[in-house]
Amino acid sequence: MIDFLMSPRGIIIRYIISGCTAAGVDLIALYILTEYVGFVYTTSVVIAFLIAFTASFVLQKYWTFDDNKDKESHKQLIAYFSVQVANLFLNSLLVYLFTEKFGVWYMLSQFITGILIAFSSFLIYRNFIFPKNTNPNTQNSL
């Protein structure tokens, strides 16, 4: 299993594990900041997002996509953050549309939207933010 996980074909599993880890970091940070540090939950949400964002970026860059080009890190960080912010707005819009316009239960709307955004984000990360090859005549394998 470890060999598969670390193989080029294991990228999807690494992507999912990294995403779930970042989500866990977000929830744990939110709880600790609110319950133990004493921040108002709205302040905790922002700080927890930034902590989870950092964990997500590091995991996706170095583990999921095996990208060790540190020279590119600042550009990748900005691009990654831009995708995250765009995803936040897209998530809100799609959940609203599915729920209000098509009558889908809001939890199911969020689930569907989450899958769509995760899939599209993976493609953006793999092909544009953390591309494995710089040669346009070669393609990344999935």
Render each residue's pLDDT in the chain as its tens digit; 142 residues.
677 777 778 999 999 999 999 999 999 999 999 999 999 999 999 999 999 999 999 999 999 999 999 999 999 999 999 999 999 999 999 999 999 999 999 999 999 999 999 999 999 999 999 998 644 444 444 5
What CA–CA distance (Å, rounded) separates 72 from 117? 24
Any domain includes 93: yes
Q: Which residues does 80 contact at the CB level (< 8 Å), separation at least 6?
A: 57, 60, 61, 125, 129
Question: Looking at the structure, do residues 59 and 76 belong to the same domain, yes or no?
Answer: no
Question: Looking at the structure, do residues 40 and 88 belong to the same domain, yes or no?
Answer: no
What's the total number of domains in the chain? 2
Domain that holds residue 20: 1-66
**43: how many CB neighbours lie within 10 A of its CB?**
13
Question: Looking at the structure, do residues 6 and 36 belong to the same domain, yes or no?
Answer: yes
Domain boundary residue, one of 41, 66, 91: 66
